[in-house]
Structure 1
Protein backbone atom coordinates (compact mmCIF):
# COMPACT_ATOMS: atom_id res chain seq x y z
CA UNK A 1 0.00 0.00 0.00
CA UNK A 2 1.18 3.52 -0.69
CA UNK A 3 0.08 6.89 0.62
CA UNK A 4 0.78 9.98 -1.49
CA UNK A 5 -1.52 13.02 -1.98
CA UNK A 6 -5.04 13.97 -1.25
CA UNK A 7 -8.36 12.51 -2.47
CA UNK A 8 -8.97 12.95 -6.17
CA UNK A 9 -10.45 16.43 -5.89
CA UNK A 10 -8.48 17.68 -8.84
CA UNK A 11 -10.88 20.18 -10.30
CA UNK A 12 -12.71 22.39 -7.84
CA UNK A 13 -14.45 21.94 -4.53
CA UNK A 14 -17.70 22.10 -6.44
CA UNK A 15 -16.91 18.80 -8.17
CA UNK A 16 -15.60 15.62 -6.56
CA UNK A 17 -14.41 13.49 -9.49
CA UNK A 18 -15.74 10.15 -8.25
CA UNK A 19 -19.04 11.64 -7.19
CA UNK A 20 -20.42 13.89 -9.90
CA UNK A 21 -20.26 14.42 -13.62
CA UNK A 22 -18.09 17.45 -14.44
CA UNK A 23 -17.70 19.86 -17.29
CA UNK A 24 -14.25 20.64 -18.60
CA UNK A 25 -13.80 23.57 -16.23
CA UNK A 26 -14.26 21.37 -13.15
CA UNK A 27 -17.78 22.60 -12.36
CA UNK A 28 -20.76 20.26 -11.98
CA UNK A 29 -22.80 19.82 -15.12
CA UNK A 30 -26.20 21.46 -15.03
CA UNK A 31 -29.15 19.18 -14.30
CA UNK A 32 -31.05 17.92 -17.29
CA UNK A 33 -34.09 19.97 -18.13
CA UNK A 34 -36.21 16.84 -18.08
CA UNK A 35 -35.11 15.72 -14.60
CA UNK A 36 -38.14 14.68 -12.66
CA UNK A 37 -38.84 14.13 -9.02
CA UNK A 38 -37.90 10.61 -7.96
CA UNK A 39 -40.41 7.90 -8.65
CA UNK A 40 -43.17 7.87 -6.13
CA UNK A 41 -43.14 11.70 -5.82
CA UNK A 42 -43.60 12.22 -2.08
CA UNK A 43 -43.11 8.58 -1.08
CA UNK A 44 -40.26 6.10 -1.06
CA UNK A 45 -36.78 6.15 0.55
CA UNK A 46 -35.33 8.77 -1.82
CA UNK A 47 -38.15 11.20 -1.07
CA UNK A 48 -37.74 10.51 2.65
CA UNK A 49 -34.03 11.22 2.38
CA UNK A 50 -34.76 14.44 0.50
CA UNK A 51 -37.15 15.61 3.22
CA UNK A 52 -34.49 14.96 5.85
CA UNK A 53 -31.72 16.70 3.90
CA UNK A 54 -33.90 19.76 3.30
CA UNK A 55 -33.91 20.45 7.04
CA UNK A 56 -30.22 21.35 6.77
CA UNK A 57 -29.44 22.18 3.11
CA UNK A 58 -31.16 22.65 -0.22
CA UNK A 59 -32.05 19.44 -2.08
CA UNK A 60 -34.04 20.47 -5.13
CA UNK A 61 -34.98 18.77 -8.40
CA UNK A 62 -34.71 15.25 -7.00
CA UNK A 63 -34.26 12.71 -9.79
CA UNK A 64 -33.62 8.98 -9.97
CA UNK A 65 -33.05 8.94 -13.74
CA UNK A 66 -29.76 7.16 -14.61
CA UNK A 67 -29.27 9.63 -17.46
CA UNK A 68 -29.37 12.71 -15.23
CA UNK A 69 -26.03 14.49 -15.84
CA UNK A 70 -25.74 15.19 -12.11
CA UNK A 71 -25.86 11.46 -11.35
CA UNK A 72 -22.57 9.89 -10.15
CA UNK A 73 -20.51 8.32 -12.90
CA UNK A 74 -17.28 6.39 -13.25
CA UNK A 75 -16.05 4.66 -10.11
CA UNK A 76 -19.08 5.56 -7.99
CA UNK A 77 -21.43 2.62 -7.26
CA UNK A 78 -24.43 2.16 -9.48
CA UNK A 79 -27.71 0.60 -8.40
CA UNK A 80 -26.99 -3.05 -7.69
CA UNK A 81 -23.42 -2.38 -6.52
CA UNK A 82 -22.27 -1.97 -2.90
CA UNK A 83 -25.75 -3.19 -1.87
CA UNK A 84 -27.26 -0.01 -3.37
CA UNK A 85 -30.88 -0.58 -4.40
CA UNK A 86 -31.76 3.02 -5.32
CA UNK A 87 -29.81 6.08 -6.46
CA UNK A 88 -30.94 9.67 -6.75
CA UNK A 89 -29.51 13.16 -7.05
CA UNK A 90 -30.67 16.65 -6.07
CA UNK A 91 -29.17 20.13 -6.23
CA UNK A 92 -28.04 22.58 -3.59
CA UNK A 93 -27.85 25.66 -5.81
CA UNK A 94 -27.34 27.96 -2.84
CA UNK A 95 -24.03 26.25 -2.09
CA UNK A 96 -23.27 25.47 -5.74
CA UNK A 97 -23.23 21.71 -5.45
CA UNK A 98 -25.11 18.50 -5.98
CA UNK A 99 -26.10 15.80 -3.49
CA UNK A 100 -26.10 12.21 -4.66
CA UNK A 101 -28.23 9.89 -2.54
CA UNK A 102 -27.75 6.12 -2.26
CA UNK A 103 -30.17 3.79 -0.50
CA UNK A 104 -28.37 0.54 0.46
CA UNK A 105 -30.23 -2.65 1.21
CA UNK A 106 -27.49 -3.50 3.73
CA UNK A 107 -25.66 -0.55 5.31
CA UNK A 108 -22.87 -2.73 6.71
CA UNK A 109 -22.17 -4.19 3.29
CA UNK A 110 -22.11 -0.69 1.82
CA UNK A 111 -19.54 0.44 4.38
CA UNK A 112 -17.45 -2.70 3.81
CA UNK A 113 -17.47 -2.09 0.06
CA UNK A 114 -16.55 1.56 0.49
CA UNK A 115 -13.70 0.65 2.85
CA UNK A 116 -12.35 -1.91 0.39
CA UNK A 117 -12.65 0.59 -2.45
CA UNK A 118 -10.58 3.13 -0.50
CA UNK A 119 -7.90 0.53 0.31
CA UNK A 120 -7.80 -0.58 -3.33
CA UNK A 121 -7.30 3.01 -4.45
CA UNK A 122 -4.49 3.39 -1.93
CA UNK A 123 -2.91 0.12 -3.13
CA UNK A 124 -3.10 1.47 -6.67
CA UNK A 125 -1.01 4.50 -5.77
CA UNK A 126 -3.72 7.05 -4.92
CA UNK A 127 -2.53 6.97 -1.35
CA UNK A 128 -4.49 9.83 0.16
CA UNK A 129 -7.82 8.80 -1.35
CA UNK A 130 -10.58 9.36 1.16
CA UNK A 131 -8.87 11.93 3.36
CA UNK A 132 -11.46 14.46 2.20
CA UNK A 133 -14.35 12.00 2.25
CA UNK A 134 -17.78 13.31 1.32
CA UNK A 135 -19.52 10.04 2.18
CA UNK A 136 -22.15 11.05 4.76
CA UNK A 137 -23.93 8.14 6.40
CA UNK A 138 -27.48 8.58 7.62
CA UNK A 139 -30.26 6.31 8.80
CA UNK A 140 -31.08 4.14 5.82
CA UNK A 141 -29.33 6.29 3.21
CA UNK A 142 -25.96 7.79 2.29
CA UNK A 143 -25.50 11.35 0.98
CA UNK A 144 -22.59 12.48 -1.21
CA UNK A 145 -22.42 16.29 -1.36
CA UNK A 146 -20.01 17.62 -3.97
CA UNK A 147 -19.70 20.99 -2.22
CA UNK A 148 -17.76 21.41 1.00
CA UNK A 149 -20.29 24.04 2.10
CA UNK A 150 -23.10 21.54 1.65
CA UNK A 151 -21.18 18.93 3.63
CA UNK A 152 -20.68 21.43 6.47
CA UNK A 153 -24.40 22.14 6.53
CA UNK A 154 -25.33 18.46 6.55
CA UNK A 155 -23.04 17.41 9.41
CA UNK A 156 -25.13 19.64 11.69
CA UNK A 157 -27.68 16.84 11.38
CA UNK A 158 -27.25 13.21 12.42
CA UNK A 159 -25.34 12.51 9.21
CA UNK A 160 -21.72 11.52 9.83
CA UNK A 161 -18.70 11.52 7.51
CA UNK A 162 -17.38 8.00 6.86
CA UNK A 163 -13.59 7.90 6.48
CA UNK A 164 -11.63 4.69 5.91
CA UNK A 165 -8.21 6.10 5.01
CA UNK A 166 -6.06 5.14 8.03
CA UNK A 167 -4.55 8.63 8.30
CA UNK A 168 -7.84 10.54 8.08
CA UNK A 169 -7.88 13.08 10.94
CA UNK A 170 -10.61 13.61 13.50
CA UNK A 171 -9.36 16.48 15.69
CA UNK A 172 -10.37 16.87 19.30
CA UNK A 173 -13.68 18.63 19.76
CA UNK A 174 -15.46 16.64 17.03
CA UNK A 175 -17.80 13.72 17.47
CA UNK A 176 -16.30 10.32 16.76
CA UNK A 177 -18.77 7.45 16.37
CA UNK A 178 -18.29 3.76 15.61
CA UNK A 179 -19.21 2.65 12.08
CA UNK A 180 -20.36 -0.83 11.13
CA UNK A 181 -16.86 -1.83 9.94
CA UNK A 182 -13.49 -1.84 11.68
CA UNK A 183 -10.70 0.66 11.04
CA UNK A 184 -13.03 3.39 9.75
CA UNK A 185 -14.45 6.48 11.48
CA UNK A 186 -17.77 8.29 11.59
CA UNK A 187 -17.48 11.93 12.61
CA UNK A 188 -18.86 15.42 12.07
CA UNK A 189 -15.45 16.68 10.88
CA UNK A 190 -15.37 17.77 7.23
CA UNK A 191 -11.76 17.76 6.04
CA UNK A 192 -10.69 20.06 3.22
CA UNK A 193 -7.20 20.79 1.95
CA UNK A 194 -7.90 24.45 1.25
CA UNK A 195 -9.13 25.15 4.78
CA UNK A 196 -12.77 25.66 3.83
CA UNK A 197 -13.92 22.62 5.81
CA UNK A 198 -14.38 22.19 9.54
CA UNK A 199 -11.90 24.22 11.59
CA UNK A 200 -9.09 22.30 13.25
CA UNK A 201 -8.74 23.98 16.62
CA UNK A 202 -5.50 22.09 17.18
CA UNK A 203 -3.53 24.48 14.97
CA UNK A 204 -0.82 22.47 13.19
CA UNK A 205 2.73 23.72 13.58
CA UNK A 206 6.03 22.72 12.01
CA UNK A 207 8.39 21.13 14.56
CA UNK A 208 11.03 23.69 13.54
CA UNK A 209 8.75 26.40 14.89
CA UNK A 210 7.94 28.22 11.65
CA UNK A 211 5.03 27.76 9.29
CA UNK A 212 2.28 25.19 9.44
CA UNK A 213 2.33 21.49 8.76
CA UNK A 214 -0.77 19.33 8.92
CA UNK A 215 -0.87 17.07 11.93
CA UNK A 216 1.52 18.99 14.17
CA UNK A 217 -0.16 20.62 17.19
CA UNK A 218 1.36 23.71 18.77
CA UNK A 219 1.75 21.82 22.02
CA UNK A 220 1.26 18.22 22.99
CA UNK A 221 -0.06 15.59 20.62
CA UNK A 222 -3.12 14.86 18.52
CA UNK A 223 -3.35 11.65 20.51
CA UNK A 224 -1.31 8.49 21.03
CA UNK A 225 -2.43 5.09 22.35
CA UNK A 226 -1.61 3.87 25.83
CA UNK A 227 -1.92 0.61 27.77
CA UNK A 228 -1.56 -0.31 31.42
CA UNK A 229 0.24 -3.61 30.86
CA UNK A 230 1.74 -5.97 28.31
CA UNK A 231 -1.56 -7.86 28.35
CA UNK A 232 -3.49 -4.70 27.44
CA UNK A 233 -0.94 -3.86 24.74
CA UNK A 234 -1.24 -7.37 23.29
CA UNK A 235 -5.00 -6.97 23.09
CA UNK A 236 -4.69 -3.49 21.57
CA UNK A 237 -2.47 -4.59 18.68
CA UNK A 238 -4.16 -7.96 18.19
CA UNK A 239 -5.44 -7.27 14.67
CA UNK A 240 -2.15 -5.79 13.45
CA UNK A 241 0.45 -8.28 14.72
CA UNK A 242 0.78 -12.03 15.08
CA UNK A 243 0.21 -11.90 18.84
CA UNK A 244 -2.93 -13.95 19.38
CA UNK A 245 -1.45 -17.42 18.80
CA UNK A 246 2.27 -16.68 18.93
CA UNK A 247 3.14 -14.66 22.00
CA UNK A 248 5.70 -14.94 24.79
CA UNK A 249 7.10 -12.92 27.68
CA UNK A 250 9.77 -15.52 28.45
CA UNK A 251 13.14 -13.64 28.55
CA UNK A 252 14.86 -16.26 26.38
CA UNK A 253 12.11 -16.06 23.74
CA UNK A 254 12.02 -12.25 23.84
CA UNK A 255 15.80 -12.16 23.24
CA UNK A 256 15.44 -14.10 19.99
CA UNK A 257 16.20 -12.36 16.72
CA UNK A 258 17.04 -13.68 13.27
CA UNK A 259 18.66 -12.73 10.00
CA UNK A 260 15.25 -11.45 8.88
CA UNK A 261 14.13 -9.70 12.07
CA UNK A 262 16.17 -7.31 14.22
CA UNK A 263 14.65 -5.51 17.23
CA UNK A 264 15.32 -1.88 18.08
CA UNK A 265 15.98 -2.50 21.77
CA UNK A 266 19.28 -4.33 22.27
CA UNK A 267 20.80 -5.69 25.48
CA UNK A 268 19.22 -4.84 28.82
CA UNK A 269 15.76 -3.41 28.15
CA UNK A 270 15.84 -1.45 31.43
CA UNK A 271 18.71 0.62 30.02
CA UNK A 272 16.30 1.73 27.29
CA UNK A 273 13.59 2.82 29.72
CA UNK A 274 11.54 -0.32 28.94
CA UNK A 275 9.75 -1.91 31.90
CA UNK A 276 8.05 -4.87 30.19
CA UNK A 277 8.73 -6.73 26.97
CA UNK A 278 7.13 -9.49 24.89
CA UNK A 279 7.66 -11.25 21.56
CA UNK A 280 4.98 -11.85 18.94
CA UNK A 281 5.49 -14.20 16.00
CA UNK A 282 7.09 -17.58 15.43
CA UNK A 283 10.77 -17.91 16.46
CA UNK A 284 13.04 -20.03 14.30
CA UNK A 285 12.64 -23.77 14.84
CA UNK A 286 12.17 -26.36 12.17
CA UNK A 287 11.47 -23.45 9.85
CA UNK A 288 12.72 -19.85 9.60
CA UNK A 289 11.36 -17.28 12.01
CA UNK A 290 8.14 -15.62 10.91
CA UNK A 291 6.43 -12.30 11.72
CA UNK A 292 8.60 -11.35 14.68
CA UNK A 293 7.76 -8.13 16.49
CA UNK A 294 8.30 -6.84 20.00
CA UNK A 295 5.91 -5.17 22.45
CA UNK A 296 7.20 -2.76 25.10
CA UNK A 297 5.76 -1.02 28.12
CA UNK A 298 7.80 2.11 28.69
CA UNK A 299 8.68 3.81 31.97
CA UNK A 300 11.01 6.43 30.47
CA UNK A 301 9.95 7.37 26.95
CA UNK A 302 12.66 10.00 26.54
CA UNK A 303 15.37 7.43 27.34
CA UNK A 304 13.86 4.98 24.84
CA UNK A 305 13.70 7.59 22.09
CA UNK A 306 17.22 8.84 22.83
CA UNK A 307 18.77 5.38 22.49
CA UNK A 308 16.60 4.53 19.48
CA UNK A 309 17.76 7.73 17.80
CA UNK A 310 21.42 6.79 18.27
CA UNK A 311 20.81 3.29 16.88
CA UNK A 312 18.86 4.63 13.89
CA UNK A 313 21.51 7.19 12.98
CA UNK A 314 24.27 4.57 13.28
CA UNK A 315 22.37 2.30 10.89
CA UNK A 316 21.69 5.16 8.49
CA UNK A 317 25.33 6.34 8.53
CA UNK A 318 26.60 3.03 7.13
CA UNK A 319 25.13 3.38 3.63
CA UNK A 320 22.59 6.21 3.76
CA UNK A 321 19.58 3.98 4.32
CA UNK A 322 18.04 1.81 7.01
CA UNK A 323 18.37 -1.97 6.86
CA UNK A 324 15.22 -3.63 5.59
CA UNK A 325 15.44 -6.22 8.37
CA UNK A 326 15.75 -3.54 11.08
CA UNK A 327 12.57 -2.92 13.03
CA UNK A 328 11.07 0.56 13.19
CA UNK A 329 10.05 1.91 16.58
CA UNK A 330 6.39 2.97 16.79
CA UNK A 331 5.46 4.67 20.04
CA UNK A 332 2.37 5.52 22.03
CA UNK A 333 2.17 7.44 25.29
CA UNK A 334 3.67 4.72 27.50
CA UNK A 335 4.04 1.83 25.07
CA UNK A 336 6.00 0.95 21.95
CA UNK A 337 6.06 -1.67 19.19
CA UNK A 338 9.10 -2.76 17.16
CA UNK A 339 8.42 -4.31 13.77
CA UNK A 340 9.98 -4.44 10.31
CA UNK A 341 6.65 -5.23 8.62
CA UNK A 342 5.17 -2.32 6.59
CA UNK A 343 1.73 -3.97 6.59
CA UNK A 344 1.83 -4.34 10.38
CA UNK A 345 2.81 -0.69 10.73
CA UNK A 346 -0.14 0.23 8.51
CA UNK A 347 -2.45 -1.35 11.09
CA UNK A 348 -0.61 0.30 13.97
CA UNK A 349 -0.97 3.75 12.40
CA UNK A 350 -4.70 3.18 12.41
CA UNK A 351 -4.39 2.70 16.17
CA UNK A 352 -2.60 6.10 16.34
CA UNK A 353 0.92 4.77 16.95
CA UNK A 354 3.58 6.99 15.39
CA UNK A 355 7.03 6.11 14.02
CA UNK A 356 10.15 7.69 15.54
CA UNK A 357 12.05 9.13 12.55
CA UNK A 358 15.45 10.72 13.18
CA UNK A 359 16.75 10.85 9.60
CA UNK A 360 18.22 14.32 8.85
CA UNK A 361 16.12 16.42 6.49
CA UNK A 362 13.00 14.28 6.80
CA UNK A 363 9.68 15.96 6.06
CA UNK A 364 6.15 14.65 5.54
CA UNK A 365 3.61 15.77 2.92
CA UNK A 366 0.52 17.61 4.03
CA UNK A 367 -2.14 15.24 5.25
CA UNK A 368 0.19 13.08 7.34
CA UNK A 369 0.75 13.38 11.06
CA UNK A 370 4.02 14.96 12.13
CA UNK A 371 4.56 15.58 15.83
CA UNK A 372 7.44 16.45 18.12
CA UNK A 373 9.30 13.59 19.70
CA UNK A 374 10.89 13.75 23.15
CA UNK A 375 14.40 14.10 21.68
CA UNK A 376 15.86 16.82 19.48
CA UNK A 377 16.33 15.98 15.83
CA UNK A 378 13.50 13.41 15.63
CA UNK A 379 9.80 13.55 14.82
CA UNK A 380 6.87 11.21 15.31
CA UNK A 381 5.04 10.48 12.07
CA UNK A 382 2.87 8.06 10.13
CA UNK A 383 4.67 8.81 6.85
CA UNK A 384 7.33 6.47 5.50
CA UNK A 385 8.82 7.48 2.11
CA UNK A 386 9.56 3.87 1.13
CA UNK A 387 6.18 2.59 2.32
CA UNK A 388 3.86 5.63 2.21
CA UNK A 389 0.89 3.84 3.73
CA UNK A 390 3.05 2.31 6.40
Structure 2
Protein backbone atom coordinates (compact mmCIF):
# COMPACT_ATOMS: atom_id res chain seq x y z
CA UNK A 1 0.00 0.00 0.00
CA UNK A 2 1.24 3.40 -0.86
CA UNK A 3 -0.02 6.89 -0.18
CA UNK A 4 -3.33 6.26 -1.95
CA UNK A 5 -4.89 3.92 0.61
CA UNK A 6 -3.71 6.15 3.40
CA UNK A 7 -5.38 9.18 1.98
CA UNK A 8 -8.42 7.44 0.65
CA UNK A 9 -9.15 5.72 3.94
CA UNK A 10 -9.42 8.98 5.79
CA UNK A 11 -9.89 12.38 4.32
CA UNK A 12 -7.79 14.79 6.29
CA UNK A 13 -4.75 15.11 8.49
CA UNK A 14 -3.86 16.12 11.96
CA UNK A 15 -5.85 17.39 14.76
CA UNK A 16 -7.85 19.29 16.99
CA UNK A 17 -6.89 22.20 19.17
CA UNK A 18 -3.59 23.93 19.65
CA UNK A 19 -3.43 22.67 23.21
CA UNK A 20 -3.48 18.99 22.38
CA UNK A 21 -6.90 17.65 21.49
CA UNK A 22 -8.02 14.27 22.66
CA UNK A 23 -8.04 12.82 19.16
CA UNK A 24 -11.65 11.80 19.41
CA UNK A 25 -12.78 12.81 15.96
CA UNK A 26 -11.71 10.32 13.35
CA UNK A 27 -12.30 10.08 9.66
CA UNK A 28 -9.87 11.92 7.50
CA UNK A 29 -6.26 12.22 6.64
CA UNK A 30 -4.16 14.35 4.74
CA UNK A 31 -1.19 11.69 3.55
CA UNK A 32 11.49 16.58 16.58
CA UNK A 33 13.28 19.77 22.16
CA UNK A 34 13.94 20.62 18.46
CA UNK A 35 17.27 20.74 16.69
CA UNK A 36 19.25 23.74 15.65
CA UNK A 37 17.50 25.36 12.70
CA UNK A 38 20.55 27.15 11.36
CA UNK A 39 19.05 27.03 7.91
CA UNK A 40 16.15 29.07 9.21
CA UNK A 41 18.05 31.65 11.19
CA UNK A 42 18.48 34.17 8.41
CA UNK A 43 14.94 33.93 7.12
CA UNK A 44 13.58 37.16 8.52
CA UNK A 45 13.56 36.56 12.27
CA UNK A 46 13.76 39.15 14.99
CA UNK A 47 17.37 38.30 15.83
CA UNK A 48 19.38 37.01 12.84
CA UNK A 49 22.40 36.47 15.09
CA UNK A 50 20.63 33.74 17.04
CA UNK A 51 21.46 30.34 15.45
CA UNK A 52 18.40 28.77 17.05
CA UNK A 53 15.94 31.33 15.76
CA UNK A 54 13.14 29.77 13.80
CA UNK A 55 13.24 26.51 15.74
CA UNK A 56 10.99 25.37 18.53
CA UNK A 57 13.68 26.44 20.97
CA UNK A 58 13.26 30.03 19.82
CA UNK A 59 10.15 30.55 17.66
CA UNK A 60 9.87 33.72 15.62
CA UNK A 61 7.01 35.40 13.84
CA UNK A 62 8.78 35.94 10.53
CA UNK A 63 9.46 32.66 8.83
CA UNK A 64 9.89 30.71 12.05
CA UNK A 65 7.83 28.11 13.81
CA UNK A 66 5.03 30.44 14.83
CA UNK A 67 4.99 32.72 11.83
CA UNK A 68 4.46 32.76 8.09
CA UNK A 69 7.38 31.90 5.87
CA UNK A 70 8.60 34.49 3.36
CA UNK A 71 6.87 34.71 -0.01
CA UNK A 72 10.08 34.28 -2.03
CA UNK A 73 10.15 30.49 -2.42
CA UNK A 74 11.93 30.01 0.89
CA UNK A 75 8.88 28.62 2.62
CA UNK A 76 10.59 25.31 3.26
CA UNK A 77 13.31 27.01 5.31
CA UNK A 78 10.65 28.47 7.57
CA UNK A 79 9.33 25.06 8.57
CA UNK A 80 9.96 23.52 12.00
CA UNK A 81 12.96 21.18 12.21
CA UNK A 82 12.93 18.36 14.74
CA UNK A 83 16.18 16.42 14.77
CA UNK A 84 14.71 13.40 16.53
CA UNK A 85 11.55 11.34 16.74
CA UNK A 86 11.04 12.43 20.36
CA UNK A 87 11.15 16.09 19.39
CA UNK A 88 8.82 15.60 16.43
CA UNK A 89 6.29 13.83 18.66
CA UNK A 90 6.58 16.59 21.27
CA UNK A 91 5.83 19.21 18.66
CA UNK A 92 2.88 17.32 17.19
CA UNK A 93 1.51 16.71 20.67
CA UNK A 94 1.03 20.45 20.98
CA UNK A 95 -1.63 20.28 18.28
CA UNK A 96 -2.95 16.73 18.45
CA UNK A 97 -2.48 14.00 21.00
CA UNK A 98 0.87 12.31 20.40
CA UNK A 99 2.23 11.54 23.86
CA UNK A 100 2.88 7.80 23.54
CA UNK A 101 5.29 7.24 20.64
CA UNK A 102 6.18 3.75 19.41
CA UNK A 103 8.80 2.76 16.84
CA UNK A 104 7.96 -0.95 16.90
CA UNK A 105 6.90 -1.87 13.33
CA UNK A 106 4.69 -4.62 14.77
CA UNK A 107 2.69 -2.09 16.78
CA UNK A 108 -0.98 -1.98 15.85
CA UNK A 109 -0.75 1.81 15.61
CA UNK A 110 1.13 1.43 12.32
CA UNK A 111 -0.92 1.07 9.17
CA UNK A 112 -0.30 -1.65 6.56
CA UNK A 113 1.88 -0.05 3.92
CA UNK A 114 3.70 2.39 6.21
CA UNK A 115 6.79 0.26 5.57
CA UNK A 116 6.71 1.43 1.93
CA UNK A 117 7.99 4.78 3.14
CA UNK A 118 11.53 3.54 3.60
CA UNK A 119 15.12 4.28 2.58
CA UNK A 120 14.00 4.87 -1.00
CA UNK A 121 11.99 7.78 0.36
CA UNK A 122 14.94 8.83 2.58
CA UNK A 123 12.88 7.87 5.64
CA UNK A 124 15.20 6.92 8.50
CA UNK A 125 12.69 6.18 11.27
CA UNK A 126 8.96 5.61 11.60
CA UNK A 127 6.92 6.33 14.70
CA UNK A 128 3.27 5.94 15.66
CA UNK A 129 1.48 7.60 18.55
CA UNK A 130 -1.99 6.12 18.25
CA UNK A 131 -5.25 7.55 16.95
CA UNK A 132 -3.97 7.13 13.40
CA UNK A 133 -1.03 9.53 13.69
CA UNK A 134 2.28 8.38 12.25
CA UNK A 135 5.58 10.28 11.96
CA UNK A 136 8.32 9.74 9.40
CA UNK A 137 11.79 11.15 10.06
CA UNK A 138 13.49 12.26 6.83
CA UNK A 139 17.21 12.44 6.04
CA UNK A 140 16.96 14.17 2.65
CA UNK A 141 13.86 16.31 2.21
CA UNK A 142 14.35 16.73 -1.54
CA UNK A 143 14.64 12.96 -2.03
CA UNK A 144 11.48 12.47 0.01
CA UNK A 145 9.53 14.98 -2.04
CA UNK A 146 10.82 13.46 -5.28
CA UNK A 147 9.74 9.98 -4.14
CA UNK A 148 6.26 11.24 -3.29
CA UNK A 149 5.91 12.96 -6.66
CA UNK A 150 7.12 9.86 -8.55
CA UNK A 151 4.65 7.69 -6.67
CA UNK A 152 1.82 10.13 -7.32
CA UNK A 153 2.67 10.38 -11.03
CA UNK A 154 2.23 6.62 -11.35
CA UNK A 155 -1.10 6.67 -9.54
CA UNK A 156 -2.42 9.57 -11.60
CA UNK A 157 -2.39 7.31 -14.66
CA UNK A 158 -5.22 5.30 -13.10
CA UNK A 159 -6.96 8.15 -11.27
CA UNK A 160 -6.44 11.76 -12.43
CA UNK A 161 -7.98 13.03 -9.19
CA UNK A 162 -5.62 11.07 -6.94
CA UNK A 163 -4.33 13.15 -4.00
CA UNK A 164 -5.71 16.38 -5.44
CA UNK A 165 -6.07 17.65 -1.88
CA UNK A 166 -2.41 17.06 -1.09
CA UNK A 167 -0.06 14.55 0.46
CA UNK A 168 1.97 14.69 3.63
CA UNK A 169 2.03 17.54 6.10
CA UNK A 170 5.74 18.25 6.51
CA UNK A 171 8.43 19.99 8.52
CA UNK A 172 12.03 20.29 7.38
CA UNK A 173 12.98 16.79 8.51
CA UNK A 174 9.75 15.01 9.32
CA UNK A 175 6.41 14.23 7.74
CA UNK A 176 3.12 13.22 9.30
CA UNK A 177 0.03 11.25 8.36
CA UNK A 178 -2.98 11.00 10.64
CA UNK A 179 -6.54 9.72 10.54
CA UNK A 180 -7.66 12.73 12.59
CA UNK A 181 -9.55 14.94 10.19
CA UNK A 182 -9.16 18.18 12.10
CA UNK A 183 -5.46 17.66 12.79
CA UNK A 184 -4.41 19.02 9.42
CA UNK A 185 -6.13 22.31 10.01
CA UNK A 186 -4.45 22.75 13.37
CA UNK A 187 -0.96 21.81 12.20
CA UNK A 188 -1.21 23.94 9.09
CA UNK A 189 -2.86 27.00 10.56
CA UNK A 190 -1.39 26.95 14.09
CA UNK A 191 1.62 24.69 13.93
CA UNK A 192 3.32 26.31 10.95
CA UNK A 193 3.65 23.09 8.95
CA UNK A 194 2.80 22.96 5.25
CA UNK A 195 1.12 20.44 3.01
CA UNK A 196 3.15 18.87 0.21
CA UNK A 197 1.03 18.91 -2.95
CA UNK A 198 2.36 17.59 -6.26
CA UNK A 199 -0.91 17.34 -8.17
CA UNK A 200 -0.60 19.10 -11.54
CA UNK A 201 -4.11 20.57 -11.24
CA UNK A 202 -3.80 21.88 -7.70
CA UNK A 203 -4.56 25.51 -7.03
CA UNK A 204 -5.57 26.86 -3.60
CA UNK A 205 -8.25 29.53 -3.14
CA UNK A 206 -7.03 33.10 -2.93
CA UNK A 207 -5.46 34.00 0.37
CA UNK A 208 -3.77 30.65 0.92
CA UNK A 209 -0.05 30.09 0.47
CA UNK A 210 1.33 28.28 -2.56
CA UNK A 211 5.12 28.22 -2.47
CA UNK A 212 7.76 26.27 -4.32
CA UNK A 213 8.75 22.92 -2.88
CA UNK A 214 12.21 21.39 -3.31
CA UNK A 215 11.07 19.43 -6.37
CA UNK A 216 9.73 20.85 -9.61
CA UNK A 217 6.02 20.21 -9.98
CA UNK A 218 5.35 20.28 -6.22
CA UNK A 219 4.26 23.11 -3.97
CA UNK A 220 3.93 23.76 -0.24
CA UNK A 221 0.62 25.14 0.94
CA UNK A 222 -1.38 25.84 4.08
CA UNK A 223 -4.56 24.88 2.24
CA UNK A 224 -6.10 21.53 3.09
CA UNK A 225 -8.89 19.88 1.17
CA UNK A 226 -10.30 16.68 2.60
Q: Which of residues 225, 235, 257 in structure 1 aligns to 2:111?
A: 257
Work out the CA distance in 2 between the residues paired with 1:254 and 1:227. 25
Partner deviation per Cα, 1:196-245 (whole Å, 9 max, x = no partner)? xxxx9xxxxxxxxxxxxx97622422710111210011100003334214
2:215 pairs with 1:378: no
Residue 356 to residue 327, structure 1, CA distance change in 2 (3 Å)? closer
Alpha-carbon contact 2:137-2:175 (below 8 Å) kept: yes
Contiguous gaps of at least 5 residues in structure 1:
1-114, 116-170, 176-186, 190-199, 201-213, 282-290
2:173 match = 334
Work out the CA distance in 1 between the residues paired with 2:99 and 2:106. 19
How many residues are matched? 168
Work out the CA distance in 2 between the residues paired with 1:366 and 1:230. 35
Partner deviation per Cα, 1:84-117 (whole Å, 9 max, x = no partner)? xxxxxxxxxxxxxxxxxxxxxxxxxxxxxxx9xx
Partner deviation per Cα, 1:298-345 (whole Å, 9 max, x = no partner)? 111111111111223333442332379x99311111121123433111
Alpha-carbon contact 1:309-1:378 (below 8 Å) kept: yes
2:161 pairs with 1:312: no
Work out the CA distance in 2 between the residues paired with 1:374 and 1:254. 33
What is the DSSP-based 3-state SS (H/G/I as helix, E as strand, rest coil) of the residue aligned with 2:90? helix
Q: Which of residues 38, 60, 72 in structure 2 aligns to 1:218?
A: 72
Q: Spell out structure 1 runs of 4+ moving beyond 4 A.
A: none
Work out the CA distance in 1 between the residues paired with 2:198 and 2:93. 28
Aligned CA-pair RMSD: 3.6
2:126 pairs with 1:277: yes
Alpha-carbon contact 1:357-1:378 (below 8 Å) kept: yes
2:7 match = none
Work out the CA distance in 1 between the residues paired with 2:45 and 2:127. 35
Residue 322 to residue 251, structure 1, CA distance change in 2 (3 Å)? same
Partner deviation per Cα, 1:40-86 (whole Å, 9 max, x = no partner)? xxxxxxxxxxxxxxxxxxxxxxxxxxxxxxxxxxxxxxxxxxxxxxx
Higher Rg of the two aligned structures: 1
Alpha-carbon contact 2:134-2:178 (below 8 Å) kept: yes
Contiguous gaps of at least 5 residues in structure 2:
1-17, 19-42, 48-60
Alpha-carbon contact 2:166-2:199 (below 8 Å) kept: no
